Structure 1
Amino acid sequence: MQGRKRLPRAVRLLIVARAVNRLGAFSLSFVTVLITTRFGASSAVAGCVSAAFGLATIPSRLVGGRLADRIGRRRTIVVGLTGCAVAQLGLAAADSLTPAICFAVLLGLVFEIYEPPSQAMIADVLTPSEHVRAYGLLNAALAAAGMGAGLVAAGLGRWDLRWLFVVDALTCLLCALTVRLVLPADHRTTAAAAPDQTPAVTPWRDRALLLMLATGTLFAVIYLQIMITLPLSMDHEGLRPTDAGLLFTTSALTISAGQPLLRWSRLSMLSAPVAFAAGYLLLALGLGGYALAHNLTAYLAATVVWSAGDLLLVGRAYAVVARLAPPGGRGRYLAVYGTSWGIAGIAAPLMGTQLIEHAGPAGLWSAMALVSLLLAALQPTLVRGATFHGNDHQLDSAPAELQDERAG
């Protein structure tokens, strides 16, 4: 019955605000296009700018985690979104290549600041048993908003690319204003802990967190291969690369439509190790389907399968990391785990293009399926150890919840 309880108002409002922001977050895909078409830069220069952006997102997320624990969740979200708006407006107004590059890098430096406090705020107001559903709902809301973002981008992009960045900036400001007005104010508790309350364990010295970071990076590499190299893969198979948009929409629909299934008792009662194993097996099966696919129907079927695996995976990973964090350290722990996406953002394009060039699409997706099978074997063991370790951290701060879980 717990899975049927309504989420707290603060969580629901945060998810809605993030969805509004995601509705406008389509400009990032067009940074390289803007640089090449408006300023005449080469593809190599545009690629370097894109890589610099990806690299900048790593310290961005770490800064967001530290600020979330120091100045509060709501303030950090507002700061990050406002910074994104400033950088995007700067890109839209840039009249030469140099300022455009500077604002693109600035966008990377502020782009991930609001992620750790958003995730930490969800963990703050919910019991551990509700974390998976809340993170899954956030993921589904962002996926659904992403579908609308593609339609908005298609319309505005035909007019002037700069308007993409203007509208994106406006949605950032609207989200920041919503967060500022409707979410609970920050309190000087964990966000401003006294020196003697600072957690003894730092994120980069926590072995359990680092193991989760390693597996999270592998997952992010797999996921970004789909986002980045799927159009190229379809082109090699003689299909239209633009049909990848249909596959992305299918994935978003699967994740959104699958959310009610997480309330079913059989799924909600799955232990984290079993859910991770099942999720990665489905992911491997879907990617294996890509390796064998030669028509759009086969690609669509494989997309539904791996998206079902994603439904089981994403929320649980953040829930495990939130449980690992000591009192007052959730923002930093979630930020460190989140750097997996920045690392993968650098590695995935290089790895994917090389695999397609030397092994073809079948080789690429077969390799990704094998990595998924490896994660299916390793992740359950890591999660068992991480859960026990996390209970040790949080026992004093939430004794009733965690002692009940240990007893179970």
Structure 2
Amino acid sequence: MPRSVWMLAVARGVNQLGAFSVPFLAALTVARFGVSPATGGLVTAAFGVATVPSRLLGGRLADRIGRRRSIVLGLAGCAVAQLAIAAAGTVWQVLAFAVLLGLVYEIYEPASQAMIADAVGPADRARAFGLFSAALAAGSTGAGLIAAAVGRWDLRWLFAIDAVSCLLCAVVVRRVLPLDRPRPGGTRRGAASPWRDRALLALLGCGTLYAMVFTQVTVALPLSMTRSGLDAADAGILFTVSAVTTVAGQPLLRIGRLAALSTPVALALGGVVLAAGFTGYAFARGLVPLVLATVVWSIGELLIFGRVYAAVSDLAPPDARGRYLSVYGLSWGFAGIAAPVVGTQLLQHAGVTALWTSTAALCLVLAALQFVLVSPLLPDASDDGPSADAVRTETAPAPAVEGAA
């Protein structure tokens, strides 16, 4: 891997070491102000709404002002917003600062992903994104343990520590990564519009279901554990187990048969493994069974993450990678709106078993859609993918927001 990929992975690993606050946003609101879990879910949903324009802004900034500047700008904004949440004295203040956090939260993601796609060729992108995922997971191993320890003391400290990690990451990125220049054509209005690429839109639809699953985990798992008689902070232990599994499981991606799978087949297999893990959550009682179920669904995540981001990067022309990745990243914004509300409502009115059974069913739907929706539109697995200089010309109708994108 090029030096820039390793340095970015290290920087984001530092950031991820403290990136445990958002999963506890609903729990913080409930514990500090005595509101219902559904109200806590609405606060998190407001954060999710704000991430939608944040992601689009991040993609445009990555193509307009460069990757490094966009990463530093987004991380600094996150630090300010999280310190404000930690200091908030009312539910309304938490809500306002959660929206502010959402507006800056996704700025650095498209830029980070585009920097990786720029640095490596198509044949190495899945492995490069796997390395990036492993670095984030390595940071999460420490993050989960810190969350489990500090969360028992005061959940507000989670947001303060996360803010410090954002600032440290911004400093590392600023000092060790070279200043990149926008590619020609990356700022032309309407040039290489991702909204006209039907393959990307198919991946976006499936990616939204994938993001729904993981947003459900981060938001509902702490609340679910309290319903099962465990401490909400114990969710940090499960997040750590997931991170360790992701790091330790990286050699699985190099197994001949797995590596040779086409993208739709690999994504479908990952969805089935996810379903098995969340079925375990539905019926597990006690921390040890939950740990075993976490290992299973984390293997499913491992099979999906690198493949799907490599597929999106391969679809994009070089001058529009930031925008392509930001449009795909809207899946996390859409999920951030829906999953907190759906998950907390299911938990409050139907219980733990119904919550995780429905999540497992959603994973099976995701697996089936890879063959129905994605496979017919992606380039044939035997191809090397589109030319680096090609501009895709597929003609799906553009949504009304195309101009803003």
Judge same fold: TM > 0.5, yes or no.
Answer: yes
1:66 counterpart residue number: 60
Q: 1:117 aligns with which of 97, 105, 111?
A: 111
Answer yes or no: is 1:394 the counterpart of 2:375: no
Indicate if the aligned counterparts of 2:23 and 2:219 stay in contact, CA closer than 8 A: no
Unmatched 5+ residue regions in structure 2?
392-405
1:321 counterpart residue number: 312
Distance 1:187 1:301 in 2: 46
Distance 1:37 1:236 in 2: 14
For residues 7-62 of structure 1, the C-alpha deviation after alignment (integer angstroms, 9 at most, x for no partner) is 11100100110011111223334555666777x58557755443322211111111
Give the partner amino acid of 1:324: L
Distance 2:134 2:146 in 1: 19
DSSP-derived class of the 1:329 partner? helix
1:186 offset after TM fit, Å? 1.1
Indicate if the aligned counterparts of 1:323 and 1:387 stay in contact, CA closer than 8 A: no
DSSP-derived class of the 1:284 partner? helix
2:400 counterpart residue number: none
1:193 offset after TM fit, Å? 4.1
1:238 offset after TM fit, Å? 5.1
- For structure 1, which segment, 138-147 or 227-236, has the greater mean C-alpha deviation from structure 2 after superposition? 227-236
1:396 offset after TM fit, Å? 5.5
Indicate if the aligned counterparts of 1:221 and 1:347 stay in contact, CA closer than 8 A: yes
For residues 97-134 of structure 1, the C-alpha deviation after alignment (integer angstroms, 9 at most, x for no partner) is 76655433222111110000101111111111211122
DSSP-derived class of the 2:378 partner? helix
DSSP-derived class of the 2:306 partner? helix
1:284 offset after TM fit, Å? 1.7
Distance 1:385 1:27 in 2: 39
Q: After superposition, where does 1:8-47 map in structure 2 within 5 Å?
A: 8-29=2-23, 31=25, 42=35, 47=41
Q: After superposition, where does 1:177-256 map in structure 2 within 5 Å?
A: 177-190=171-184, 193=186, 195=188, 200-237=191-228, 242-256=233-247
Indicate if the aligned counterparts of 1:208 and 1:389 stay in contact, CA closer than 8 A: no
Answer yes or no: is 1:170 the counterpart of 2:164: yes
Answer yes or no: is 1:103 the counterpart of 2:94: no
Q: Cα 1:354–1:163, aligned 2, differ >3 Å: closer, same or farther?
A: closer
Q: Cα 1:102–1:389, aligned 2, differ >3 Å: closer, same or farther?
A: farther
Q: Cα 1:276–1:170, aligned 2, differ >3 Å: closer, same or farther?
A: same
Give the partner amino acid of 2:255: W
1:278 counterpart residue number: 269
Larger radius of gyration: 1
Indicate if the aligned counterparts of 1:203 and 1:336 stay in contact, CA closer than 8 A: yes
Task: Give the number of equivalent residue pairs.
Answer: 389
Distance 1:177 1:358 in 2: 45
Answer yes or no: is 1:257 the counterpart of 2:248: yes
CA-based RMSD of the aligned residues comes to 3.1
Indicate if the aligned counterparts of 2:227 and 2:352 stay in contact, CA closer than 8 A: yes
Q: After superposition, where does 1:262-341 map in structure 2 within 5 Å?
A: 262-341=253-332
Q: Cα 1:188–1:61, aligned 2, differ >3 Å: closer, same or farther?
A: closer
Give the partner amino acid of 2:376: G
Q: After superposition, where does 1:67-86 map in structure 2 within 5 Å?
A: 67-86=61-80
Distance 1:362 1:232 in 2: 13
Distance 1:29 1:281 in 2: 24
- For structure 1, which segment, 235-244 or 138-147, has the greater mean C-alpha deviation from structure 2 after superposition? 235-244
Q: TM-score, normalised by structure 1?
A: 0.83
Give the partner amino acid of 2:7: L
Indicate if the aligned counterparts of 1:355 and 1:363 stay in contact, CA closer than 8 A: yes
Q: TM-score, normalised by structure 2?
A: 0.84
- For structure 1, which segment, 285-294 or 248-257, has the greater mean C-alpha deviation from structure 2 after superposition? 285-294
Give the partner amino acid of 2:61: L
Indicate if the aligned counterparts of 1:272 and 1:380 stay in contact, CA closer than 8 A: no
1:402 counterpart residue number: none
1:375 counterpart residue number: 366
Point out the structure with the larger helix share: 1
Distance 2:41 2:386 in 1: 44
1:295 offset after TM fit, Å? 4.3
Structure of greater relative contact order (alpha carbons < 8 Å, 6+ residues apart): 2
Unmatched 5+ residue regions in structure 1?
1-6, 400-408
1:81 offset after TM fit, Å? 1.0
DSSP-derived class of the 1:387 partner? coil
Give the partner amino acid of 1:74: R
